Amino acid sequence: VNQLEARYRERSLWLDQCPGPLEPRAPLSGDVDADVAVVGAGFTGLWTAYYLKRLQTDLRVTVVEKEIAGFGASGRNGGWASAGIAGSPSVYEHRVGRDAVLRGIRATQEAVDEIGRVAGEEGIDCGYLKTGVLAIATSEPQRRRVEATVRAQHARGLGEEDVRLLTPAEADGYVHARGVRAASFTPHAARIDPARLARGLAEACERIGVTVYERSPALALERGLVRCPDGTLRAPTVLRATEAFTTLLPGERLTYLPLYSLMIATEPLSAEVWEDLGWRDGLLVDDRRHLFFYAQRTTDGRVAIGGRGAPYRLGESISETRERNADVRARLERTLAQTFPPTAAARITHHWGGPLGVPRDWSMSVTFDRVSGLGFAGGYSGHGVAAANISGRTLADLVLGRSTDLVTLPWVGHRSRSWEPEPLRYVASNALVRMLGSADRHEDETDRDAKRVRLIASVLPPG
């Protein structure tokens, strides 16, 4: 158990700092019956189980998790519970129209508040603090992208109170970042400690009568049953909540591109350093590079900052060796020191990463088929914290046959095509991160747009 505990703690700063033991719950053994089987105890699976049980107390809801609750991206991410569509609004716009997309965006804003509400109600101490996101631009191309993004959001129906442009001087009132040419701010985002939220949610689920089995990998999901190594879970409804790990299940290899996002965290910084940084507590900050960074001021006074760009070896699309990468780590350290100079002397205590599920069109889906009883949610393309809360409520409504506003959101029933078979997917994925990295270097050095990004437009999120 100690070795296992060490392995779980190594997966992220958040899991490492989680209070209490990370001892796995009992695994599934023998034949077990339930009304609803949920596979995966990340945010998607746990929110789904939570809302199902809250809506119908006598429903037997059982979760099976390969490792422990919060082992996946949910226990490792940047801790941004932030509004905005997971994926590309334009993909849904073609199918459902502008009004429906605006309703979807509003739903993501509500989800940020809903996460805070449940955390409060269930006594989950996850450092929830709704301070918003500051997006900064540190070059001319980035400035144009910040402005274009805000214009596009206003054209979709959002107002100044949802997202607005700031001058460098105004941005400085949120945090003293170096080299800011322009910025935008949205209040619709909260900082969280993601592992504490995931682990707290698993406990909240159990308190209301959900059964959670850990160390219980589903080997196959079929109509009416989930096979695990030591037992079988029988349930008329089977819901898959395995996001990037879905690609390890039979027949699902090309469902998502498993991209990795990697993070580093500083040691806790002194009060003087925070004073020098002028960083509002809870404020989330990102930039507009192609391989953008995302950062938060943590509850225990560290900066946790992440970014993408880790390549993969053929046949190792999901692998713990991808979770750490010297180049990405060095890039993040450089970005941190350059953008927030008072942090330059701080020790980096943690480096970790995890997989994101990216569908071919970069757009999420929540799907349930009443006839087979099979459903799933995921494909958040790296933006799943708020989205998974919506997915959980939506799957619960779909399973219980409730005709709420959630079940007609743009991503319900959305289908993305598969990725190209290997080695094409591998070539595309590595070309993507290489090209984006080189475009950023070009833009930083010349202050001009990197046109080369157009060469990989076919694998980027549709604009």
Ligand X SMILES: Cc1cc2nc3c(=O)[nH]c(=O)nc-3n(C[C@H](O)[C@H](O)[C@H](O)COP(=O)(O)OP(=O)(O)OC[C@H]3O[C@@H](n4cnc5c(N)ncnc54)[C@H](O)[C@@H]3O)c2cc1C
List contacts with ligand X (CB under 6 A): 39-45, 64-67, 71-74, 76-80, 82, 217-218, 241-245, 249, 261, 263, 294, 306, 353-354, 356, 378, 380, 382-386, 388
Choose between 243 and 440: whose C-beta lies nearer to ligand X.
243
Closest approach of Cβ 80 to ligand X, in Å? 3
Choose between 260 and 426: whose C-beta lies nearer to ligand X.
260
The CB-nearest residue to ligand X is: 384
Closest approach of Cβ 188 to ligand X, in Å? 12
Choose between 27 and 236: whose C-beta lies nearer to ligand X.
27
C-alpha distances out from residue 115 to 50, 136, 347, 367, 422, Å: 12, 26, 32, 22, 38
Is the Cβ–Cβ distance between 205 and 63 less than 8 Å?
Answer: yes
Closest approach of Cβ 192 to ligand X, in Å? 9
Choose between 171 and 385: whose C-beta lies nearer to ligand X.
385
Choose between 80 and 419: whose C-beta lies nearer to ligand X.
80
Closest approach of Cβ 272 to ligand X, in Å? 28
Closest approach of Cβ 261 to ligand X, in Å? 4
Closest approach of Cβ 243 to ligand X, in Å? 3
Closest approach of Cβ 454 to ligand X, in Å? 27
Closest approach of Cβ 381 to ligand X, in Å? 8
Closest approach of Cβ 354 to ligand X, in Å? 3
Choose between 43 and 185: whose C-beta lies nearer to ligand X.
43
Closest approach of Cβ 51 to ligand X, in Å? 14
Choose between 79 and 410: whose C-beta lies nearer to ligand X.
79
Closest approach of Cβ 271 to ligand X, in Å? 26
| Calpha distance 409→427 (Å, rounded) | 34
| Calpha distance 43→204 (Å, rounded) | 13
Choose between 141 and 437: whose C-beta lies nearer to ligand X.
437
β-pair partners for 233:
32, 226
Choose between 66 and 143: whose C-beta lies nearer to ligand X.
66
Choose between 291 and 450: whose C-beta lies nearer to ligand X.
291
Choose between 72 and 127: whose C-beta lies nearer to ligand X.
72
3-state secondary structure the chain: CHHHHHHHHCCCHHHHHCCCCCCCCCCCCEEEECCEEEECCCHHHHHHHHHHHHHCCCCCEEEECCCCCCCCHHHCCCCEEECCCCCCHHHHHHHHCHHHHHHHHHHHHHHHHHHHHHHHHCCCCCCCECCCEEEEECCHHHHHHHHHHHHHHHHCCCCCCCCEEECHHHHHCCCCCCCCCEEEEECCEEECCHHHHHHHHHHHHHHCCCEEECCCCCCEEECCEEEECCEEEECCEEEECCHHHHHHCCCCCCCCEEEEEEEEEECCCCHHHHHHHCCCCCCEEEECCCCCEEEEECCCCCEEEEEECCCCCCCCCCCHHHHCCHHHHHHHHHHHHHHCHHHCCCCEEEEEEEEEEECCCCCCEEEEECCCCEEEEECCCCCCHHHHHHHHHHHHHHHCCCCCHHHHCCCECCCCCCCCCCCHHHHHHHHHHHHHHHHHHHHHHHCCCCHHHHHHHHHCCCC
